[in-house]
Structure 1
Amino acid sequence: MASGTKRVYEARSKYPDRTKNIENSFAPLTVVIKSLETGILLLSSKEEPVLQVVLSHLAEFARKQDENIVELKKQQLLEVLIEKGIYMYAENVIIRRFALFHITLVLDNTELGEYETEKIAQLLDVCFRFYLKESDEFCIEYLTYIVNLCLRDPKVAQNVLENIEFLEKFKNIFINSDNPDTVLNSIEALHKILQVQSAEEMLEFTTLPGFPVDRIICELTNEFLEIRLAAIKVLKTLLADTSDESVFEPVHRCFFVLQQLVKAFCANPRAPDALGIIEVMATALRSEKMTKLFFEQNLFDQMVEHLKEDMDFLPAEVVCTIISIFAEAAKYERYLPRIHNANITQMLLKCLLNSKPEPAPFVIMGLNRMIAHPEALRTIVAEYENGALSRLVSLVRSPDVSIKTREQAAEFIGSLLISSFRSTSEKLMEINISEALAITLRQGLPELSIDLILSLLAIIESLAANDEYRTTMGEYTPLAEQIAQLLMRSYAHSILVHNIFRCLCTIIDEAPVREVLLSNYIVSSIKRALKSLSNLVKTAVTNFILQTTRFNCFVDAYIDRGILEVLMLFQKHAFCVSTWGPAIESILSKCPTMKFCIRNCLSFTDITAGKDFYVSKRKFEDFRCFQNILRHDCSPLEPVLVVNFDRPSVDADDVICVPSHCLHDVDIAGDQKWAYCKRPADTKLPEFLEALNETLALHGLVENPDRIRRSIDFENVAKRSKIIAEAVNSVMSEDIKILDLNTTEECSRHAVRCHLESLRHIFHTNFIPLGEVRSGCQFERAILFKCFADQIGLPCTLQRSVDGRMLYNEVPLPLEMEKDIHCDKKTLKFMPWRMLRPTHIVDLMYNIGELYPMQCRQALQYLRLY
């Protein structure tokens, strides 16, 4: 071979001595270790054979008994493995499997609260890195299981959403895995992730590309029960979102999940997961799109056929649970005929009557929805004879029944009263619904839910629409008592207070109800409601006041027990309550005494007849001062004139005797006793009124020509005013000098003051009956004129001047203009009194009976303003 070429083989003169190398190398070492602590220490070795042997040995130790696992936990095996990264970088796959095995072993025997969230998050972080680089199927199985266990901590589960890389690989492995354990733990882990998300986060997460919803649907027919149950839980969560943007927005996916559910159920209706499948299907059918597919694709018929085949072999409770899907479908009225024709109504009724101890809420809900179909309603009403309605009432009143069932039963009764009032109400009254309602309401909050109470109140309102039933319920006083007691305990819930007041308005026409309410702290409840911060509550209570001022007992209670005071003082806090002002006016309109004290005027519609009318000579800035005089004081500084046409003799209970030891400076002659009365008798006023009526009769002015009470005889307003004014003058002209309108002389006031002083000594009090007053100026005469006018039906006002010293009367006397249809007397005479406007002032002192147009010179002179 030529020089320079490379030789393939070249002889060597020296070779390495392999024997010597073997002699110098480290020989294998076998050491017997009997200490667990030492074994744990060997986990820090870098030799994979050592790690494999130690991990294997620890596994055998752990399998012997559970106490050994506890010992491993004490030796902090979990912390050591986390510190070593669970040997995720070990080339020997056996080491990785053993390490993961020990992690699962420790976690299986650990309660969730034993480790802090930080430690769980640290373990999960290592598992995530392990998961991303691992391809071994067994390791993936272990890792999935560990992740599933760690996600039991909600804080940890929330942080998983930030690890995008893990989620992507997690979804890919789940979709492609054939390992049942991996599939099971993946589904359960996914369910835990969904549970910690809000509705918006779940929508965003589930609609990401690659979300394994189709794989989950497929697992509904898996051969392993655990996987089917896990898939059912996830689907139930996903199907709760019925919006168009959810993961089930595609129609093909909706049909696929319904088809799988029906297939899984029909395969074995008695399987352990059958009821879970029914729950998922019921959740799915809350969506109109799902329900439409369920009926159009004949899945409904398929379900019904299998249910009928297996009904005789299934327990009644299971059958009642299965038909919950039909209760959900009944939400859509267009499918009710098919549901009823499939005999579902009878199935629901059978469950209602036969379920022990109680039917599920959806059974009653389904029946409630079925009443929208006439045939179904007839079927339900026909079952009254078999105790269907009695069963509902017993469910409502029983505290042992779940609150959801009681709510549905009460709502169902209310719906039946609307759809079939006559049959339902008659049956309810037969079974004494008043007693059942009272017993139920006695349980009170929080035993009863707000929804249940609202339904009970709605039942009362429906029955009270019938006068006969309202009377029957009103006579059962415990019902009204329980409503009043419930109101006192319900002010934390404004909607409940609102409905209670509305319910009371429907039964307040019954006298026993009014007595019970006034004796059961309804006044305290009204005060509290008026001071509420809720406009809803204030609107409800003022509406109640408007409804109840028809009854004198309530008006007296509102005035005497402080309701009017609260209404007046809290007006500035009720600017958003439109009924606040009308509530005040409704009370005042029934009590002319307080209205005149507060408003200093009485309008045409404020009638003084029918009760005592008190007018003080003094003008009060605060009406409560006058109230205290009426309640407590017997000798106010100024006289109080009392008007009453209906008390010719004094009531003995109203006379108060003054003890003799209280009369130190009074000369008591003989056996004379001192007594006073704030409600004195008045024998003269009826006589004056009778004389007035005789005078009016002579002139043909007693009644209005058309004999219509609300019509106004404008032709004779001036004539009747003149006659009343002359009657007033004839009564109160004693020692009164008739002066000219243009004079400024006021000497007659002194005579009146002396006369009233004399009357005060006669009656031993400043409460003086008006009929005894024989000397009067504008003040006294205006009161008598108003009272006479109210008795004969003449529209008249009573006004107090600004300084409070003078009273005067106004009457409506429209001035007709030619060819003005708005001033046609034929139209005006039928005008309601509340729409009349005062036009003339009545002269009671100077030119007796003259009518002066308002703002004219004579009117201003009469009021001493000119």
Structure 2
Amino acid sequence: MGKKVKKESETPCKETFDPLPVEGKTPATVVLLLSSPEEDILIKACEAIHTFAEKGDENKVSLLGLGALQPLCQLITHSNKLVRRNAFMALGIMATNSDVKTALKKIDVIPSIIDKLSLEEDTVVHEFATLCLASLSVDFICKVQIFDNKGLPPLIQLLSSLDPDVQKHSLEIIFNLVQDYQSRLAVHGLGGIPPLLDLLKSDFLAIQHLALKTLQNITTDKDTRNTFREEQGFENLMDILDNKDFTDLHAEALQVVANCLNDSESFQLINKGGGLTRLMEFVLTPTAPEIQSNTVKCIARVAQSSENRKLLHEQDVEKVLVELLSVANDSVKTATCHAVAAMSFNLASKDSFRDLGGFPAVVQSLSSESLTLREAATQALSNLTHNNQLNIFAVYEAGGHEFLVQQLHDSCPRTVANAAATLGNMAGQEVIRCSILSYGAIQALVEPLKSTDTQVLVNTTLCLAVLACDTDARAELQIAGGLHPLVNLLRSHHKEVLYNTCLAVNVCASDEPNAVEMCKYGALEMLQEINQSVNRRSRFSELAMISLLNSNLSLKYSLTGCLASSDIITDGFYDTGKAGSGQRVLTLEELSKQPVNQHRPIIAVNTVSDETGDAPEERQSNPSETDTSSKGGRRTPRRRKEDDKQKDEAQPESPTEKLWKMMDDIPLQNLVKEAKESILPLNDEWEQYAALARLVSRTMGGAVEIEKLHKFPWELHLSELKFEFQSNVIPIGIIGKGIYCHRALLFKCLADCIGMSCTLVRGEYNRAWNEILLFKGNPSSNEHSSQPCRLIVDLMHQPGNLLKTKTAAAVQYQTI
């Protein structure tokens, strides 16, 4: 038998359920009704949710928890207009809550909302759809989604809506979007300027505020400003500024004016229409400080152009600005100082500010507690004093330099930079420089030298270069520890910082102690590296290098192998031999502490008597000190008595004590005395140099034939001296057997001591020579030549012979 099955109904039931009134008393029940297929129920449910959500944020959060958001986002696209309208009302109200807004960002609802912004849609839908987007558009990602989904075109259309709420919400969204450059351009391209200008005439203050704030953002673009001008935007703004009933709008209106006055064309237009005169009158009219400061900002913005500055000067803007400096409000003063700084690029304006007595007010602002005012005041003074001596003295007479030195300690880098620039401008005048230094400017500059702000470094190093031309100032800089951070700036790859640092190093190196200390910090090595670089080398770095070397002739001779006739050898000079590129030359103290080695000795110079104060003659007669057994009557130290030796062994000398005793070069002192007594009285300059050459030769072993030079035992002699003194440093006066390099150094040393002029040049393979300039013949005779003759002094083979440079004999003397 077959299986029994249920008989199906042939036709469905045509009966409908009688209408059932639904009464939901709990939010959960109403949320469940959002899923109903019946439109009447959906309309009532959405309306109930809207009413419930309006009562507060707790209700909105409660609805979110019950899952109302997802079905509402679906219902805004429902085919029934009433369902859509009520769903938008509920969703719009809920979206004002931050928790709901966060949840909405996770739902891709923005395209659906934008789709319902068409003009065919109900105004209520527009109101709540824009309310929803206004809440979401604060978020960056949502702004991008609105823009990408082409939300701007319908929003700009809705600016012309008859409903003020739609206008306001649409404006809010557009304002949020135009914070980004791409949207600013799009608003202009989509014709957004005319409707925005129309909204300036709205009856609602909030809409006017939003319209002005939006215009302020989009008029930062030049093309937008052109359209704004063509659409009579200036006239609209000036009408607002002239209307005393619109004082609440003046601040925003002035900010838009400030943007638009960036263009010369716009400024010319407003000036021709009398707008500039009206602006001047407006700025002096007593009003709220914010409005007054914004008006001055307009002037500062206008003054960015040289053509505009001329027009402003013709309108006596300086008089207006000087009056505003006396206003008892920091924001107004700050804006005024910025305007003064901008106008100071006009030479006539610089003089006008001085003639109108504006400097005391600007200087007084330096003592304000406001950081922004102090910064603006220093900027104004920096610009006013640039290349203007009369203004420099006006600041000085107002006591500005004292306040400016204090600003070097300020926490704001811009203030420090401006103060340093102004002080640098002023320090060119000696009387002012001395006064600036008296207020501790040098010490105040030390900390800014460690700054990481480029402009601070640029201005500080330049200011230091000007102030440090005073000897006491350079000494103060060394004591204050400013040389180390200054030298560190030689590592900078910023062109201007490096230039100014080299300039300051050049000035500070005028004193030998400073030069020595900077070399200790590696200044010389850094400058060598800079001068070898194509990109970093400059005339400033070359000058700094020269100054350092000129203040430390030992380094100069070691690195360059040449001392000019103007380079006078003094006590403490030492010759270490030729130094390689980038090699650091050790100090004499460092060299004296090294153990005796096999390298060439360091030759030191000292003509000062030791601590006992004994005269050279008395020391010379002391048999325990000297001996006349060496060649040419040369007096050299002889070995100490055995008991002295034992005493020294019991109490070994410290390196410093050993250095001092070695530098007490009695034989050299005697040579200087002999040169003064025997050579200076000679009348003929040629004979003086020849006699000095013979003295040097006799002192260092006499004449040596070229063929027998290899037999001359100078190396053994120097090794014996190093062993005897137990030091690598040998005083030049005790050398009894020397060749070219030793004799040339002694010749230069003696010549400098007695006032004769010569150079010292190092050659290769222990060669060195002295070059002198002499006129041929007797200056009083007719045979005298007007052109001096360059000569090389022979100290080795025919002592006293003067060889004309570039001749075969001279070349043979200089080379092997």
1:456 and 2:419 matched: yes
One of 550, 555, 561 as aligned partner of 1:594: 555
Looking at structure 1, the residues matched to 348 and 557 of structure 2 have their Cα atoms a distance apart, in angstroms, of 62
After TM superposition, give the deviation of residue 146 of structure 1 in Å.
2.1
Check 1:194–1:815 CA distance in 2 against 1; reply closer, same or farther (3 A cut): farther
Per the alignment, in what secondary structure is the counterpart of residue 76 of structure 1? Answer: coil
Map 1:59-208 onto structure 2 (within 5 A): 59-64=50-55, 66-82=57-73, 84-90=74-80, 93-110=81-98, 114-115=102-103, 117-119=105-107, 122-132=108-118, 134-164=120-150, 166-175=151-160, 177-198=161-182, 202-203=184-185, 205-208=186-189
What residue number does 1:803 align with? 765
Map 1:635-646 onto structure 2 (within 5 A): 639-645=601-607
Looking at structure 1, the residues matched to 797 and 395 of structure 2 have their Cα atoms a distance apart, in angstroms, of 72
What residue number does 1:440 align with? 407
Contact 1:461 1:503 survives alignment (8 Å):
yes
Q: TM-score, normalised by structure 1?
A: 0.78
Contact 2:327 2:333 survives alignment (8 Å):
no
Check 1:664–1:864 CA distance in 2 against 1; reply closer, same or farther (3 A cut): farther
Check 1:323–1:628 CA distance in 2 against 1; reply closer, same or farther (3 A cut): closer
Equivalent residue letter for 1:632: K
Looking at structure 1, the residues matched to 809 and 320 of structure 2 have their Cα atoms a distance apart, in angstroms, of 88
After TM superposition, give the deviation of residue 412 of structure 1 in Å.
0.9
Per the alignment, in what secondary structure is the counterpart of residue 744 of structure 1? Answer: helix
Looking at structure 1, the residues matched to 728 and 152 of structure 2 have their Cα atoms a distance apart, in angstroms, of 93
After TM superposition, give the deviation of residue 257 of structure 1 in Å.
0.5
One of 538, 541, 549 as aligned partner of 2:509: 549
After TM superposition, give the deviation of residue 623 of structure 1 in Å.
5.2
Per the alignment, in what secondary structure is the counterpart of residue 172 of structure 1? Answer: helix
Equivalent residue letter for 2:219: L
Per the alignment, in what secondary structure is the counterpart of residue 416 of structure 1? Answer: helix
Looking at structure 2, the residues matched to 185 and 259 of structure 1 have their Cα atoms a distance apart, in angstroms, of 26
Map 1:356-435 onto structure 2 (within 5 A): 356-370=329-343, 380-381=353-354, 384=357, 387-395=360-368, 398=369, 401-403=370-372, 405-418=373-386, 421-422=389-390, 424-428=392-396, 431=399, 433-434=401-402
Contact 1:597 1:620 survives alignment (8 Å):
yes
Looking at structure 2, the residues matched to 239 and 577 of structure 1 have their Cα atoms a distance apart, in angstroms, of 45
Looking at structure 1, the residues matched to 806 and 753 of structure 2 have their Cα atoms a distance apart, in angstroms, of 28
What residue number does 1:666 align with? 645
Contact 1:42 1:50 survives alignment (8 Å):
yes
Check 1:316–1:147 CA distance in 2 against 1; reply closer, same or farther (3 A cut): closer
1:770 and 2:732 matched: yes
Contact 1:474 1:510 survives alignment (8 Å):
no
Equivalent residue letter for 1:125: P
What residue number does 1:481 align with? 443
Check 1:301–1:811 CA distance in 2 against 1; reply closer, same or farther (3 A cut): closer
What residue number does 1:711 align with? none
Using the TM superposition, name which of 59-68 and 565-574 deviates more.
565-574
One of 42, 49, 70 as aligned partner of 1:51: 42
Looking at structure 2, the residues matched to 651 and 463 of structure 1 have their Cα atoms a distance apart, in angstroms, of 50
Contact 2:184 2:217 survives alignment (8 Å):
no
Identity of aligned residues (%): 19
Per the alignment, in what secondary structure is the counterpart of residue 54 of structure 1? Answer: helix
Looking at structure 1, the residues matched to 522 and 415 of structure 2 have their Cα atoms a distance apart, in angstroms, of 33
Equivalent residue letter for 1:349: V
Using the TM superposition, name which of 225-234 and 605-614 deviates more.
605-614
1:235 and 2:212 matched: no
Per the alignment, in what secondary structure is the counterpart of residue 131 of structure 1? Answer: coil
What residue number does 1:514 align with? 474
Looking at structure 1, the residues matched to 143 and 651 of structure 2 have their Cα atoms a distance apart, in angstroms, of 96
What residue number does 2:544 align with? 583
Per the alignment, in what secondary structure is the counterpart of residue 604 of structure 2? Answer: strand
Check 1:511–1:476 CA distance in 2 against 1; reply closer, same or farther (3 A cut): farther
1:319-360 per-residue CA deviation (whole Å, 9 max, x = no partner) reads 444444344344456666875686754443343223334535
After TM superposition, give the deviation of residue 551 of structure 1 in Å.
1.5
Equivalent residue letter for 2:130: T
What residue number does 1:784 align with? 746
Looking at structure 2, the residues matched to 72 and 759 of structure 1 have their Cα atoms a distance apart, in angstroms, of 100
After TM superposition, give the deviation of residue 437 of structure 1 in Å.
3.0
Contact 2:61 2:100 survives alignment (8 Å):
no
Check 1:480–1:111 CA distance in 2 against 1; reply closer, same or farther (3 A cut): farther
CA RMSD of aligned residues (A): 4.0
Looking at structure 1, the residues matched to 807 and 43 of structure 2 have their Cα atoms a distance apart, in angstroms, of 120
After TM superposition, give the deviation of residue 439 of structure 1 in Å.
3.0
Contact 1:539 1:577 survives alignment (8 Å):
no
Using the TM superposition, name which of 558-567 and 408-417 deviates more.
558-567
After TM superposition, give the deviation of residue 632 of structure 1 in Å.
2.8
Check 1:106–1:411 CA distance in 2 against 1; reply closer, same or farther (3 A cut): same
Looking at structure 2, the residues matched to 484 and 106 of structure 1 have their Cα atoms a distance apart, in angstroms, of 60
Equivalent residue letter for 2:29: T
Check 1:755–1:573 CA distance in 2 against 1; reply closer, same or farther (3 A cut): closer
Looking at structure 2, the residues matched to 87 and 776 of structure 1 have their Cα atoms a distance apart, in angstroms, of 108
What residue number does 1:744 align with? 708
Looking at structure 1, the residues matched to 313 and 739 of structure 2 have their Cα atoms a distance apart, in angstroms, of 84
Stretches of structure 1 lacking an aligned partner (at least 5 in a row)? 1-20, 653-662, 703-715, 817-823, 830-835
Check 1:635–1:226 CA distance in 2 against 1; reply closer, same or farther (3 A cut): same
Check 1:532–1:574 CA distance in 2 against 1; reply closer, same or farther (3 A cut): farther
One of 677, 690, 695 as aligned partner of 1:722: 690
Contact 1:316 1:351 survives alignment (8 Å):
no
After TM superposition, give the deviation of residue 230 of structure 1 in Å.
1.0
Aligned pairs, how many?
763
Per the alignment, in what secondary structure is the counterpart of residue 49 of structure 1? Answer: helix
Stretches of structure 2 lacking an aligned partner (at least 5 in a row)? 1-11, 614-641, 778-783
Per the alignment, in what secondary structure is the counterpart of residue 223 of structure 1? Answer: coil
Check 1:45–1:623 CA distance in 2 against 1; reply closer, same or farther (3 A cut): closer
Contact 2:359 2:394 survives alignment (8 Å):
no
Contact 1:218 1:260 survives alignment (8 Å):
no
Check 1:224–1:585 CA distance in 2 against 1; reply closer, same or farther (3 A cut): same
What residue number does 1:833 align with? none
After TM superposition, give the deviation of residue 251 of structure 1 in Å.
8.0
Check 1:334–1:112 CA distance in 2 against 1; reply closer, same or farther (3 A cut): farther
Looking at structure 2, the residues matched to 699 and 357 of structure 1 have their Cα atoms a distance apart, in angstroms, of 79
Looking at structure 2, the residues matched to 140 and 65 of structure 1 have their Cα atoms a distance apart, in angstroms, of 22
Check 1:306–1:667 CA distance in 2 against 1; reply closer, same or farther (3 A cut): closer
1:787-840 per-residue CA deviation (whole Å, 9 max, x = no partner) reads 234456665443445333x44334468999xxxxxxx974x55xxxxxx9xx65
Equivalent residue letter for 2:559: I
Contact 2:77 2:112 survives alignment (8 Å):
no
What residue number does 1:222 align with? 202
Check 1:572–1:775 CA distance in 2 against 1; reply closer, same or farther (3 A cut): closer
Looking at structure 2, the residues matched to 670 and 152 of structure 1 have their Cα atoms a distance apart, in angstroms, of 88
What residue number does 1:273 align with? 249
What residue number does 1:847 align with? 798
1:235-293 per-residue CA deviation (whole Å, 9 max, x = no partner) reads 1012112x3xx123258526x00000011221226532222112221222222221111
1:627-663 per-residue CA deviation (whole Å, 9 max, x = no partner) reads 5644534866655433244x244489xxxxxxxxxx9
Check 1:369–1:59 CA distance in 2 against 1; reply closer, same or farther (3 A cut): closer
Looking at structure 2, the residues matched to 597 and 337 of structure 1 have their Cα atoms a distance apart, in angstroms, of 59
Per the alignment, in what secondary structure is the counterpart of residue 557 of structure 2? Answer: helix
Looking at structure 1, the residues matched to 649 and 499 of structure 2 have their Cα atoms a distance apart, in angstroms, of 62
Q: TM-score, normalised by structure 2?
A: 0.82
Looking at structure 1, the residues matched to 100 and 317 of structure 2 have their Cα atoms a distance apart, in angstroms, of 46
Check 1:640–1:531 CA distance in 2 against 1; reply closer, same or farther (3 A cut): same
1:197-254 per-residue CA deviation (whole Å, 9 max, x = no partner) reads 34xx633x2443x42211111221221101111110111012112x3xx123258526
What residue number does 1:284 align with? 260
